[in-house]
A and B are shown apart, each in its own frame.
With several copies, the nearest count.
Chain A
């Protein structure tokens, strides 16, 4: 499955870029799976996701808990807790 990943704030800064499109192995089925898999892709990812439980995710621009299935997702975002307003 090919999916667009987007990163924001210090997640983006730590990874070094804002988006990428990657092919996911079929065993990656949840947001949590994806986070663990990404964290093993390199030091930049490991640094961005070192506190995985802290990272928020969105699937196709909707908030998604880590247990959410990513089946059919076109865009998955990872970012720190929000600080707007």
Chain B
């Protein structure tokens, strides 16, 4: 069973990884993905993450369950933040643990791919000049990436 949290606060990736591996000697591979708020143009004040309460948790649980059915995971933690997130801050964490690296890489990669295109979250840009910018558009490449699986 995956650990799934949606929260406004930041998360501690190292503490989450330790929680998965502590007192276990059967985990050989731990893959962590951290998604961060980018701002290459230096115009962004924050991204505001909106989500569909209830559905977001349920949809992530469904994606996690598919990953767990497909690969031999020994731990799967997914934390997604909502609310305003500043450039450089963490948005999402996926940790997959397994005996072998292939399963851990695949599970983390799979979860992130489906999280991007299937979990009900939306990003709105708040700009440094005080205006609210556009909503971030979904990328065709994200949808196309799903066909890998």
Is chain B in direct contact with chain A in the complex (CB below 8 A)? yes
Interface residues of A (CB under 8 A from B): 6, 8-10, 58, 61-63, 77, 79-85
CB-CB contacts of B50-68 with A at 8 A, as 1s and 0s? 1110111011000000000
Point out the residues of chain A lying under 8 angstroms from B116, CB to CB: 82-85
Instruction: Please tell me if the beta carbons of B55 and A82 are within 8 angstroms of each other in the complex.
Output: no
Q: How far is it, in angstroms, between the C-alpha of A61 and the C-alpha of B54 when the chains are bound?
A: 7
Q: How far is it, in angstroms, between the C-alpha of A85 and the C-alpha of B51 when the chains are bound?
A: 11
Instruction: Please tell me if the beta carbons of B92 and A84 are within 8 angstroms of each other in the complex.
Output: yes
Instruction: Please tell me if the beta carbons of B122 and A9 are within 8 angstroms of each other in the complex.
Output: yes
Q: How far is it, in angstroms, between the C-alpha of A13 and the C-alpha of B116 when the chains are bound?
A: 22
Q: Is B120 an interface residue (CB 8 A)?
A: yes
**Nearest CB to that of B135 among chain A residues?**
A10
Instruction: Please tell me if the beta carbons of B138 and A58 are within 8 angstroms of each other in the complex.
Output: no
Q: How far is it, in angstroms, between the C-alpha of A4 and the C-alpha of B25 when the chains are bound?
A: 40
Instruction: Please tell me if the beta carbons of A84 and B51 are within 8 angstroms of each other in the complex.
Output: yes
CB-CB contacts of B118-149 with A at 8 A, as 1s and 0s? 11111110000000000111100001000000
Point out the residues of chain A lying under 8 angstroms from B137, CB to CB: 81, 83
CB-CB contacts of B17-57 with A at 8 A, as 1s and 0s? 00000000000000000010000000000000111101110
Point out the residues of chain A lying under 8 angstroms from B106, CB to CB: none
Instruction: Please tell me if the beta carbons of B52 and A8 are within 8 angstroms of each other in the complex.
Output: yes
Q: How far is it, in angstroms, between the C-alpha of A22 and the C-alpha of B124 when the chains are bound?
A: 28
Q: Can you list 21 A-B pairs, Cβ within 8 angstroms, ordered by A?
A: A6-B52, A58-B52, A58-B55, A58-B120, A61-B58, A61-B59, A62-B55, A62-B58, A81-B138, A81-B143, A82-B120, A82-B121, A82-B138, A84-B80, A84-B120, A84-B122, A84-B123, A85-B91, A85-B101, A85-B112, A85-B119
Point out the residues of chain A lying under 8 angstroms from B58, CB to CB: 61-62
Least Cβ–Cβ distance between B142 and chain A, in angstroms: 8
